[in-house]
Amino acid sequence: MCGRFVTTRPTDEIAQMFDAGPANDMPDVPDYNVCPTDPVAVVVAGRKLVSMRWGFIPSWYKTPTDGPLLINARAETIAEKPAFREACRARRCLIPATGFYEWTKDADGNRLPWYIAPEDGPLTFAGVWQVWERGDARHVTCAIVTTAANQAMSAIHHRMPVTLSPDQWALWLGEEGKGAARLMTAAPEDRFAFHRVSPAVNSNRALGAGLIEPL
C-alpha cells in the first residue's frame, strides 16, 4: 500500500513538467509527511493541475466518514470494485511525488519506517479521482493505485504504488486511447532506493526535511 508520501517540487515546476495549467488553491510544498485526508496536487485529463483530498469517497457515502478511508485502490480489482470501477474507466489521474514511506516491524512489534524514492527521474503515482457531494458539502477526492510489490520492495511490504514514467502519462490520462490497464504493474527492480528513517515520521504531525534523512 501507500499510506504516506513526500512532495517537494514547487507547483510551477510540477505544472511545467506535466505541461499543465495550475489551479489557484494548490497545497503548500515542500511537505515531507503527506497524510491521508491532506490536500495533494493532482494532474487530470486536459492537463489541469488541481488540488484534491487524498482519500477517495464513494458516491453512496452519506458523509465523508460513512465508511473506510479509501486511500489506495488495488490494481487487481479496481475495474470491478463498485467504489472504483467508474473512476477507473473515466477519471484517472497522475499524482506527483518525491518519495514515499513504508513500515516494517521489529521483534517487539515496533513500527520501523523506511523512505523509498526513485534512483532517478520524477516519481508519479497512478491515481483515480471522484467528486463527492451532499447538500452544500463537496469534496474532490483521489486514491493511489497499488499493485503487488516487486522482489526488491517485498522485503519491506507486499504492496507498492503503481508508478508511471513520462512516456506513460498520456495513456493513463486517456489521451492516447485505451490500454491503460497494462500500465498497472510493479516498477522495475532497480527503480527505487530505500533506507531506514527516524520513527518521528510515525506521527502524522511530524514535519521537516529531517524525516527522510537516513537513520
Partners of 40 in the beta sheet?
A: 52
Percent of the chain with pLDDT over 70: 100
Phi/psi at 14 (nearest 5 deg)? -65, -45
- Given the DSSP bridges, would you call strands 99-105 and 48-54 parallel, antiparallel or unpaired? unpaired
User: How does pLDDT run across 4-26, given as a tens digit for each residue?
Assistant: 999 999 999 999 999 999 999 99
Element at 11 (helix H, strand E): helix 11-18
The class of domain 4-212 in CATH terms is alpha beta
* Catalytic residue of the set 2, 88, 93, 142: 2
Q: In what order do the strands lie in the sheet with 192-196?
A: 31-34, 4-7, 99-105, 111-118, 192-196
Whether 76 sits among the annotated catalytic residues: the reply is: no
Cβ-Cβ contacts under 8 Å for 161 (sequence gap 6 or more): 2, 72, 100, 125, 126, 144, 145, 146, 147
- 134 exposed, middle or buried (CB, 10 Å; 0-12, 13-18, 19+)? middle
Q: Is the pTM of this model over 0.85?
A: yes
Average pLDDT value over all residues in the chain: 96
User: How does pLDDT run across 201-215, given as a tens digit for each residue?
Assistant: 999 999 999 999 999
Q: How far is CA 107 from CA 112, 190, 199, in A?
A: 11, 28, 16
Amino acid at 33: N
Whether 102 sits among the annotated catalytic residues: the reply is: yes
* Catalytic residue of the set 13, 102, 133, 142: 102
Q: CA-to-CA distance for 1 and 15, rounded, in angstroms?
A: 27
Task: Give SS3 for 19.
Answer: coil
* pLDDT-derived band at 132, boundaries 50, 70, 90: very high
Chain length of the chain:
215
Q: CA-to-CA distance for 31 and 163, rounded, in angstroms?
A: 19
Whether residue 93 is predicted with pLDDT greater than 80 in this model: the reply is yes
